[in-house]
């Protein structure tokens, strides 16, 4: 697993987490990218609520969450957040 935190520009930072695990098929990635509560990958066990909650909290703070993956090669999750506190979250 690799974690990188870096400035994107003067207003945003980016946190990138990459692994070289089993990755997701294109179909699974499409499902995960919907960020619907209760959705799960066939390869993992869980409730399916973690990513939708994380995405909502990140967006509440003016950021974004993106997921890229390739089967048998791994997954990359990118979180982008503003440097200054803001957004409408609590």
We report the CATH number of the domain holding residue 47 as 3.30.565.10
* Block mean pLDDT (10 aa), the chain, length 90: 95 97 91 74 65 92 95 96 68
For 48, the domain range is: 2-74
Domain presence at residue 83: no
Q: What's the number of domains the chain is made of?
A: 1
Domain presence at residue 52: yes
pLDDT at 90: 47
Per DSSP, 70 falls in state E
Domain presence at residue 90: no
23: tokens are: 């990755």
Tell me the C-alpha distance between 17 and 25, whole Å: 18
pLDDT at 50: 83
Half-sphere exposure of 40 (CA within 13 A, CB side): 9
Q: The pTM is what?
A: 0.79
68: tokens are: 């890229």
Beta bridge partners of 4: 16
Domain presence at residue 40: yes
pLDDT at 56: 93
């Amino acid at each position: 697993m690799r974690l990188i935190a870096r400035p994107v520009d003067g207003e945003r930072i980016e946190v990138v987490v990459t692994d070289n695990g089993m990755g997701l098929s294109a179909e699974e990635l499409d499902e995960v990218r919907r960020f619907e509560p209760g959705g799960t990958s066939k390869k993992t066990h869980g409730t399916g609520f973690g990513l939708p909650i994380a995405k909502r909290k990140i967006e509440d703070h003016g950021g974004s969450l993106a997921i890229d993956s390739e089967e048998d090669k791994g997954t990359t999750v990118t979180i982008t957040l503003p440097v200054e506190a803001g957004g409408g979250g609590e």
